[in-house]
């Protein structure tokens, strides 16, 4: 049986927690599509502690950056490359001292899970025309989607861009690129290792050497003019040991 003082303490704590949850704010986060699974898990952890509720929008970093520029009510932006964070910084749309390079990733070549395609070595001798045949290579649109930008850098360094470019299936995001391979609409695709890890419909058949492109870096920052205590708390939570463990679970590298 509870003693009166202990019962009062427990009741008081319960009321305090209930009040905290009741006043918890929504946190509007715009994040690269490749971070979907990890951020959903982290958002649940954040909410379970009464800090706030994650309201996430996932898409290509370029699409999200343009939406922020147009006044979308994002409070935190997680980009899959520094370029689109720099874009917003140049327009003074982020809180400069909040910016942190949070994560890293790896580019991989995928094929449908039931494909007969064997392991590939990616170098100057890789015959992409033969590998693709009449099919296309699915990846993010290299004109603006980060995974496609990284892929283009790799092919240009290998001297194979002119061969590959006409064979591209230009997707609006890395998850859209993976979906084409999952459905068998493209025999090969280039996505992040973290994307391939969460799909049972594709298999990794090759890795793009890291020295062929800029480092894959995910910067995160607060959006200027939309700052709040809950947004700052979420930004800090993303850097906690708990959140980092989730990112590692999904295959991200920690910076």
CATH number, residue 247 = 3.40.190.10
Mean pLDDT of the chain: 92
Residue 15 scores a pLDDT above 90: no
Residue 4 scores a pLDDT above 50: no
Answer yes or no: do 15 and 81 share one domain: yes
Least confident of 21-25, 42-46, 50-54, 181-185: 21-25
Answer yes or no: do 190 and 248 share one domain: no
The pLDDT assigned to 3 comes to 43
Instruction: Give the residue from 170, 146, 176 showing the smallest Cα distance to 82.
Output: 146
Residue 11 scores a pLDDT above 90: no
Answer yes or no: do 163 and 118 share one domain: yes
Structural domain range at position 85: 4-103+217-254
The pLDDT assigned to 255 comes to 87
Q: Measured between alpha carbons, how far apart are the two ends of the chain, in Å?
A: 50
Answer yes or no: do 66 and 156 share one domain: no
- Residue 26 contacts residue 76 (beta carbons within 8 Å): no
Answer yes or no: do 155 and 230 share one domain: no
As a whole number, mean pLDDT of residues 169-181 equals 98
Answer yes or no: do 60 and 86 share one domain: yes
Answer yes or no: do 208 and 122 share one domain: yes
Model pLDDT for residues 199-214, shown as the tens digit of each residue:
999 999 999 999 999 9
Answer yes or no: do 242 and 177 share one domain: no
- Residue 52 contacts residue 193 (beta carbons within 8 Å): no
Could you give the strand order of the β-sheet that contains 107-112, starting from the edge strand earlier in sequence? Answer: 168-171, 137-140, 188-192, 107-112, 202-207
As a whole number, mean pLDDT of residues 87-92 equals 98
Q: How far is CA 218 from CA 11, 103, 108, 141, 238, in A?
A: 43, 5, 17, 18, 12
Share of residues in the chain with pLDDT > 90 (%): 89
Residue 164 scores a pLDDT above 50: yes
Residue 19 scores a pLDDT above 70: no
Answer yes or no: do 32 and 9 share one domain: yes
Coil, strand or helix: which one is 86?
helix
Share of residues in the chain with pLDDT > 70 (%): 91
Answer yes or no: do 134 and 203 share one domain: yes
As a whole number, mean pLDDT of residues 100-112 equals 98
Answer yes or no: do 111 and 202 share one domain: yes
Coil, strand or helix: which one is 18?
helix
Could you give the strand order of the β-sheet that contains 76-78, starting from the edge strand earlier in sequence? Answer: 52-59, 25-32, 76-78, 217-222, 100-104, 253-254
Counting Cα atoms < 13 Å in the Cβ hemisphere of 204 gives: 16
Helix (H) or strand (E) holding 164: helix 161-164
- The domain tally of the chain equals 2
Answer yes or no: do 11 and 96 share one domain: yes
As a whole number, mean pLDDT of residues 78-92 equals 98
Split at pLDDT 50, 70, 90, the class of 8 is very low
Give the separation between CA 74 and CA 77, rounded to whole angstroms.
7
Tell me the helices (H) and strands (E) count for the chain, helix number first.
11, 11
Q: Are strands 76-78 and 217-222 parallel, antiparallel or unpaired?
A: antiparallel
């Amino acid at each position: 049986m509870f003693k009166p003082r202990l019962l009062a303490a427990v009741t008081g704590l319960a009321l305090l927690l209930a009040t905290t949850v009741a006043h918890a704010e929504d946190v509007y986060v715009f994040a690269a599509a490749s971070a979907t699974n990890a951020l959903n898990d982290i958002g649940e952890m954040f909410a379970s502690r009464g800090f706030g509720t994650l309201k996430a929008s996932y898409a290509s970093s370029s699409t999200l950056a343009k939406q922020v520029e147009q006044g979308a009510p994002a409070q935190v932006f997680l980009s899959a490359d520094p370029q689109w964070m720099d874009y917003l910084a140049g327009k003074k749309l982020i809180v400069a001292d909040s910016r942190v390079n949070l994560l890293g990733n790896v580019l991989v070549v995928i094929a449908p899970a039931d494909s007969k395609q064997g392991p590939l070595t990616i170098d100057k001798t890789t015959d992409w025309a033969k590998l693709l045949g009449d099919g296309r290579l699915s990846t993010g649109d290299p004109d603006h989607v980060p995974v496609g930008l990284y892929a283009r850098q790799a092919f240009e360094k290998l001297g194979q861009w002119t061969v590959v470019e006409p064979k591209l299936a230009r997707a609006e995001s890395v998850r859209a690129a993976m979906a084409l391979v999952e459905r068998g609409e493209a025999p090969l695709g280039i996505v992040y290792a973290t994307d391939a890890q969460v799909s049972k419909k594709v298999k990794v058949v090759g890795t793009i050497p890291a020295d062929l492109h800029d480092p894959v870096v995910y910067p995160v920052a607060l959006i200027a003019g939309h700052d709040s205590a809950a947004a700052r708390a979420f930004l800090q939570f993303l850097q906690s040991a708990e959140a980092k463990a989730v990112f590692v679970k999904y295959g991200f590298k920690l910076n």
